[in-house]
Structure 1
Amino acid sequence: MRLFALGGAGPLAKSIAGAIGVELDPVEERAFSDGEHKSRPLVSVRNEDVYVLAQLHAHDGKTPGDLLMRLLFFLATCRENGAARVTAVVPYLPFMRKERQTKPRDPVTSRYVATLFEAVGTTMVATIEVHNPAAFQNAFRCQTSHLNAHHLMAQRICSIARSPIVVASPDSGGMHRAGLVREAVQQETGRDVGSAMMEKHRSQDVLTGTQFAGDVAGADVFIVDDIIATGNTIVRAAEACRAHGANRVFAMATHGLFAGGAEGLFAQGVLDGIVVTDSVAPFVLPAEAEQRLEVIPTGELMGAAIARLHGGGSINRLLNPRM
């Protein structure tokens, strides 16, 4: 097995390698003066099972599109140099939120990205918590492995919460995701856990909808989402929970993008805590905001997944340890 990390061996890459018990293999990455670039493995990949870790959220002045192109070129290079299998390991996979046409002539970017991965000979794409897992799986004709942090989140909820507990979705589209976290909390605690949902409609980045469903009075509420970008969706749901009598309100998301700084999310009195994973770390936030942020590490989860993919183990049992 070969394990490469593009963009430098950051903390997450080192954590994944440590969880597997291997060293990251060396990569040459060069940027040219005109903006072009090249990357190549510095060890042989012939007949190897190759895993390429890349963090594709915007960072270090590079856009998700820039970083995706670098990854695609490197995957193709490994294939061209004889790799037996090539797996793209992308903790956050961009362009997945647009998986269907909602307006005339809309792009379906999830399918276009899938086509690009397939075109360079990718064997598998492994990621954590895409916006719509069913759409993700249907978009790709190569193999996919969809991981989630539901049990990691459930364990953290159990350590924070006082009874009663409610797991809430900030919109109707996230009800299934919140339901899975709720079930994981019930497995951990052996107690009933409530559910709630906020109505949301979005048009040209304008959010509307005021209906709220669920009993949150006197409860610790955990609003669960896949991504926190500007934080506006979470803030609306948090304010509704407080208006309906919640005791404490926390936000939990797999990917903390925090676009534009997400200032409203960190304002005093909105949330009692914000919990995300390290899928897009390090975060670009003011120091006072970072102090209010709790980060769940995913290195062991992703390392275990890679080890099972390489050895033919069960990903389902990894994600559902109580089965």
Structure 2
Amino acid sequence: MAAMTEPKLISGNANRSLANAIARRMSMHRGMSVGLVDARIERFNDQEIFVEVFENVRGEDMYIIQPTSNPANDNLMELLIMTDALKRSSAARITAVIPYFGYARQDRRAKARTPISAKLVANLLTEAGVDRVLTLDLHAAQIQGFFDIPVDNLYAAPVFALDVQHHFAGRLDQVMVVSPDVGGVARARELAQRINAPLSIVDKRREKPGEIAEMTVIGDVQDKICIMVDDMIDTAGTLCKAAQVLMECGAKEVHAYASHGVMSGPAVDRISKSVMKSVVITDSIEPGAAVKAASNIRIVPTAPMFAQAILNIWNGTSVSSLFDTDTLVPIYEGMYSRP
């Protein structure tokens, strides 16, 4: 379907630097200035959120860029109120660009009398007036089924594959991809297949919630450059302990790649003191000062991928083409070179 209007971007307060980067990338692709729609998002004294859009959005194709990261409730409420403001202003279509989808870990009932909060969030977004969702590496792929609207879930694996091939050029034969837990095997296998590397698993057993009793490495990591892959790093406790176990099992180096740097509590301090030589995250969540200052944490930009995905949605062309590493090479031009 031919696009009738230019795509228009609007950003909440959760990750404005990413929104500006996406706008710059789209300006490069379009050959014309693409800016963020002028709006104010404020809080009253009682912390109620107020949104006012200063530009005409009637009949426009709108894209709200707002990860629902910490503080999750505030950022989610911002997203919902912005959606309502655009809907009541007669926007033709509203796409929620949610680089990090909060509440995604509550995707099933693990115990009796507990909520499925991810489904509740999906309902809230749909009822507010969101027509489509664009996100990155959902914690569980089945969350797409919680929505009755289209959901495009991008993957960081193709970008990570480019990064690994660039930074470990000449040593790829020594690389082994490791899943830090059994639940993340599919994610780790995806990267392993892209870089043609073997796969190992760290099996963890808990005696009680929050306490890891034992970790066992499944696979031979002797003299290997181990690259752990996960969808997010929260407090980094499991990741740092898994890295220590890998080194004790004979690994030469340990690195980690994670799509979302939640970095709660002692995470940055733990990573800085860990045996990991590098931890690579994306900017789906705006990194704090401590993350930027950490010598062994590196941030990979997602703006090139999100900008292209938004343009593909606007043009009515394939978003799944961005799942291929070869497609991303020209999008990330200059950042990575083939080995």
**Alpha-carbon distance in 1 for matches of 2:220, 2:163:** 22
Does 2:234 match 1:229?
A: yes
Comparing 237-246 and 207-216, the one that deviates more: 207-216
What corresponds to 1:302 in structure 2?
A: 306
Look up the SS of the partner of 2:102 in the other structure: coil
Match for 2:8 among 2, 6, 11?
2
Aligned partners of 1:6 and 1:27 also within 8 Å: no
Q: Which runs of 5+ in 2 are unaligned?
A: 1-6, 28-33, 328-339
What corresponds to 2:37 in structure 1?
A: 25
**Alpha-carbon distance in 2 for matches of 1:11, 1:117:** 23
Does 2:56 match 1:51?
A: no
CA deviations over 1:35-91 (Å, ceiling 9, x no partner):
112112211111111100013211xxxx21111011101101111211111011111
Look up the SS of the partner of 2:165 in the other structure: helix
286 and 17 in structure 1: CA distance in 2 versus 1, 3 angstrom threshold:
closer
Cα drift, residue 314 of structure 1: 0.9
Match for 1:180 among 181, 190, 199?
190
Alignment of 1:138-177 (within 5 A): 138-161=145-168, 162=171, 163-177=173-187
**Alpha-carbon distance in 2 for matches of 1:154, 1:78:** 38
Aligned partners of 2:135 and 2:154 also within 8 Å: yes
Instruction: Quote the RMSD (CA, aligned, Å).
Output: 1.7
Cα drift, residue 209 of structure 1: 3.7
CA deviations over 1:230-256 (Å, ceiling 9, x no partner):
101111221221122111000110111
What corresponds to 2:120 in structure 1?
A: 112
What corresponds to 1:317 in structure 2?
A: 321
Cα drift, residue 9 of structure 1: 7.4
Match for 2:87 among 75, 79, 92?
79
Cα drift, residue 171 of structure 1: 0.5
Aligned partners of 2:10 and 2:65 also within 8 Å: yes
Paired amino acid for 2:126 = E
267 and 29 in structure 1: CA distance in 2 versus 1, 3 angstrom threshold:
same
**Alpha-carbon distance in 2 for matches of 1:136, 1:314:** 21
**Alpha-carbon distance in 2 for matches of 1:121, 1:178:** 35
**Alpha-carbon distance in 2 for matches of 1:110, 1:232:** 24
**Alpha-carbon distance in 1 for matches of 2:52, 2:299:** 32
**Alpha-carbon distance in 2 for matches of 1:207, 1:171:** 12
Match for 1:124 among 132, 141, 144?
132
**Alpha-carbon distance in 1 for matches of 2:325, 2:299:** 22
How many pairs are equivalent?
Answer: 310
Look up the SS of the partner of 2:215 in the other structure: coil
Look up the SS of the partner of 1:259 in the other structure: coil
Identity of aligned residues (%): 29
CA deviations over 1:81-113 (Å, ceiling 9, x no partner):
111110111111100011111111121111111
Q: TM-score, normalised by structure 2?
A: 0.87
What corresponds to 2:264 in structure 1?
A: 259
Cα drift, residue 286 of structure 1: 6.8
Paired amino acid for 1:272 = K
**Alpha-carbon distance in 1 for matches of 2:181, 2:75:** 30
Aligned partners of 2:58 and 2:91 also within 8 Å: yes
Look up the SS of the partner of 2:178 in the other structure: strand
286 and 72 in structure 1: CA distance in 2 versus 1, 3 angstrom threshold:
closer
What corresponds to 1:16 in structure 2?
A: 22
Comparing 27-36 and 106-115, the one that deviates more: 27-36
Paired amino acid for 2:138 = V
What corresponds to 2:211 in structure 1?
A: 206
Look up the SS of the partner of 2:139 in the other structure: coil
Aligned partners of 1:261 and 1:285 also within 8 Å: no
**Alpha-carbon distance in 2 for matches of 1:9, 1:144:** 21
Aligned partners of 2:159 and 2:325 also within 8 Å: no
